[in-house]
Structure formats: C-alpha cells, structure tokens
Amino acid sequence: MNPFNYDADQLLNVAHQVRRDIVRMVHAVNSGHPGGSLGCTEFLVTLYFRQMTHDPAFNMNGIGEDLFFLSNGHISPVWYSVLARAGYFDPKELATFRKLNSRLQGHPATEEGLPGIRIASGSLGQGPSVAIGAAQAKKLNNDNSLVYVLTGDGELEEGQIWEAAMYAPHHKVDNLIWTVDYNGQQIDGPVDAVMSLGNLRAKFEAFGWKVLNCDNGNNFASLIPVLDEAKSLSGQGQPICILMNTQMGYGVDFMMGSHKWHGVAPNDAQLEQALVQLKETLNDY
C-alpha cells in the first residue's frame, strides 16, 4: 500500500512543486542536471505518491517494501525533491544540494546516510544489475514486493546493461520493473546521432522481457495505466520493461525537447522565466 495513494490531480500538484525544486536546486549551485530531472518528474512522483509500497521512515533493507533504484544518477535533483516531499527528509535540506558537507551529493550516495538512497549511482549502467540482486534477495526472503529501476536511454550504450538484460529473463526475475527514460537525448546530442538504439522494443523482447510502451511519460493519464499494468504482469515468470517516452526538460518551455539542458543550470533570469511557469503548490523549501 502506498502511504499517499494520490489521484492524478494530487500527483500533478506534487509535480509542480518538484519542478520548482529542481530548477531552484540546480540554479543555486550553478550545476546539476535539470533536463532529465524535469522529464522524469511524473514518473518519480507517481512511484512515490501512488505506486510503491514504501516507508519514508526508511530502512536500508527495505523488507516488505517496493524498492526504487535510480541508475541514471545524474537526475538526482528530481529524486531528492520527491524523497523530501514524500517525507524521507526535510525539504529544507534541498538547499544543501551539491554543497560541501551535504547529504545531497551531486550523484546519489549512501556514504552520508541520506534516507531513501540504497546504493550509489552516477557511473552509468550499474542500476539494473543492482536491482536484479535486490529482486532476487526478495525472492530468497519470500518478500513479494517489487523492485523498480530507472535508466536513461543513452545509458543503454553501456555494456553492463545488456549483461543485466540477458540475466533477468534467464533467471525469471519477474518481480522487477525496468523503466527506460526514452527521451532520445544525451550529452552530445540526439541518441540516434550518437549511437542509435535501433528497435529497442524488439531488442528487449528478444532478450525475453515483457515490454510495455508508455506514449507520454509526462502525462499522468498515460503513465498510471502503464505502471498499473506493469505491476499486474509481475510474478508471471518474466521481467518487465517499460519504454517511457518523455521530453527532456518537460514543464519549462525553453528547456524542452533539447539535449542542451542535460547538464546546464539556469541563470537568474532563466530561473525567473522557469518559475513563472511552475506553480508553487507545497511551499518552496
């Protein structure tokens, strides 16, 4: 059972605030990754405020809880904001993002003990393997909860990704839901220009995954049914993959649909321009 169980309107309300948090956090330290963070806002908000059984009191072992792993750790701003808004820590702490002596490292880490983080990520391609391990440990523990992992699409260029993709179906890791943030952008440009992914659905299917498509991961009406379906398909002998179409930078007009805001922070004027588009719904930190 999710501790919030929000409907689409309530989720949208949270998403507005999370987007404000994201642009304010990266602006404050003139660094960080707003593009992918904004693009995955609906996804993370839905997981934590509707989909997952989880406890903001946070236990590292997560027994009886659904677990989430962020493999593309550079979109830490969205995760930190969602964790704070879900009650894992005080939203005021978002002001320490990327600063010295903070628990909110540039990329997620366990070293400083930030509640909600179970493994470090940032060096790409490692999250699916970790999620598989956590999922198999759940099976050994007779724990029926699920494991979610998010990767980027450019991240799929890493070799370890396909080691994990091969392993999970072979070992019938069917309590695992792997979502790909399919925004088509990476640092050096469009993914298809840097290293084309080909028919991604066919690739995952060929490896033995049950593949779902989410037409618009920035729209709760599109996203929620897919996440519900993914959950309903768990426990049937196949791992589940969601190819989630999103727009990098979604919600801030001048950041949308381009790779240029992958890892660039807005200046003062751009921050103001962004904030007028994003309603303050839960009080700024």
By CB under 8 A, which span of 77-85, 116-124, 181-189, 238-246 interacts with another protein? 116-124
**Residues 39-78: x/- map of binding to another protein (CB under 8 A)?**
---------------------xxxx---x-x---------
- Please report how close the Cβ of residue 45 comes to another protein at its closest, in angstroms: 23
111 counts as binding another protein under rule CB under 8 A: yes
133 counts as binding another protein under rule CB under 8 A: yes
| Residue among 39 and 62 whose Cβ is closer to another protein | 62
33 counts as binding another protein under rule CB under 8 A: no
137 counts as binding another protein under rule CB under 8 A: yes
By CB under 8 A, which span of 30-38, 107-115, 194-202, 209-217 interacts with another protein? 107-115
236 counts as binding another protein under rule CB under 8 A: no
The amino acid present at 102, given as its one-letter code, is: S
160 counts as binding another protein under rule CB under 8 A: yes
Residue partners of 133: CB distance under 8 A and separation at least 6: none
DSSP-H helix ranges across 141-267: 159-170, 191-194, 200-207, 220-233
- Please report how close the Cβ of residue 139 comes to another protein at its closest, in angstroms: 9
Residue partners of 283: CB distance under 8 A and separation at least 6: 17, 91
211 counts as binding another protein under rule CB under 8 A: no
By CB under 8 A, which span of 16-24, 133-141, 181-189, 245-253 interacts with another protein? 133-141
Task: Pick the closest to residue 193 from 165, 162, 153, 160 (CA basis).
Answer: 153
Token output for 267: 């200046």
Identify the three-state secondary structure at position 201.
Answer: helix
- Please report how close the Cβ of residue 115 comes to another protein at its closest, in angstroms: 14
- Please report how close the Cβ of residue 20 comes to another protein at its closest, in angstroms: 30
Chosen residue from 119, 226, 240, 242 binding another protein by CB under 8 A: 119
- Please report how close the Cβ of residue 13 comes to another protein at its closest, in angstroms: 31
Q: Quick one: angle between helices 8-29 and 76-85, nearest 10?
A: 130
Q: Give the other-Cβ count within 10 Å of 239's Cβ.
A: 31
C-alpha of 138 from chain center:
21
Distances (CA, A) of 169 to 130, 152, 166, 182: 15, 20, 6, 21
- Please report how close the Cβ of residue 14 comes to another protein at its closest, in angstroms: 26
- Please report how close the Cβ of residue 219 comes to another protein at its closest, in angstroms: 31
First-residue to last-residue Cα distance in the chain: 28
* Residue-wise DSSP of 263-285: S----HHHHHHHHTTS---S---
- Please report how close the Cβ of residue 147 comes to another protein at its closest, in angstroms: 8
The amino acid present at 133, given as its one-letter code, is: G
Q: What is the binding site for another protein (CB under 8 A)?
A: 60-63, 67, 69, 109-111, 118-123, 125-138, 140-141, 143, 159-160, 163-164, 166-167, 170-171
